[in-house]
Structure 1
Amino acid sequence: MTSPRSLTALIVIDVQRAFDEWEAAGKRRNNPDAVARIADLLKAFRASGAPIFHIRHEGTRPTSSFRPESSGYAVKDEAREAPGEPVIVKRVNSAFIGTDLESRLRAASLTTLVICGATTNHCVETTTRMAGNLGFDTHLVRDATWTFDRVGPDGDAHSAEAIHAMTLSNLNGEFARIVSTDEVIAAFGAA
């Protein structure tokens, strides 16, 4: 990361209890330490006084695990916002659509975004693509995001690891720089 801390924001996407419920129901994910890495990022950003934006998904379908009245809507304790850290609620995959995220970032002159959260190939990917398209210097933290196994349209099974890796490959270079938690924390320590 080349931008100073004063121009850098952490975007924490959808770290909500619905994902714990999915796992409890038998869905398999990759990157089991991702939430711990998100906690590490939160600690580093808070220690440096850099801005943090929490994104929360609000499901609109009747069967959504993310409906506001459901237990899955709540944020996981490890990623809970601190006083003064904004929570932006979205209803689609991108944190930029139907929210004031972009205007908040521009108003604060934030040019570099560090993105983490869930899931890699849905809301994280969509938000990362849009951030890159909007001209932000975007960094996606590879070990602070995760996804789940999926079955493709032809019935082919795809592992969470393969989906995660392909998503990172698709985003790398054109939409974002793919980084690790340690790289981000080291950059903050050197700033």
Structure 2
Amino acid sequence: MVVTTQRTEARYGLGELLTATAAGDREAFTEFYRATRHRVFGLAVRIVRSPTMAEEISQEVYLQAWISAHRYDDTRSAPMTWLMMLTHRRAVDLVRSEQASTDRDSTYGASDFQPGHDTVIEQIDQKLDHQSVRDNLAKLTALERESIALAYYGDRTYREVADLLGIPLPTVKSRIRCGLKQLERRLCDN
């Protein structure tokens, strides 16, 4: 029973402070603020998850409470309930506004995105380049073609190519060098 009495007195005290605030009493508003600020801030933080944004919401809520204190109706809700409703609305509005802004940015970014190049043309060019290299490789001597294929497509060292083909290392190096020069000339002519 004692707890109920204290709650009733606290609500009645806040109600009187709100009534005095509606009449323009700054001291009553200061007391109202001091009695309720922790709960307003706590609710705002729980909703927006940012202390900085919760502070802004709290300021807006108390400004709204100062301006609209004359509209408070004690028959509809307790002062703290009314204040929490103002806080909740303000915080949810901010969250929705932030989400809408993020969604707009994402939508705009996705719709406005243009790749720096045409990937289809790039793939076609790459296939044509590969085909041209293959065609021109076929025009090299067998030793040049095989040495280049083992070294560049087989991912082998010149020493490994020489061992696989059973020829001296200097011969492999000169065949690959000559083959690459011929390949370069033919590709540049195309």
TM-score normalised by length of structure 1: 0.20
Structure showing the higher helix proportion among its residues? 2
User: Structure with the greater relative contact order (CA < 8 A, sep ≥ 6): 1 or 2?
Assistant: 1
- Rg bigger for which structure? 2
TM-score normalised by length of structure 2: 0.20
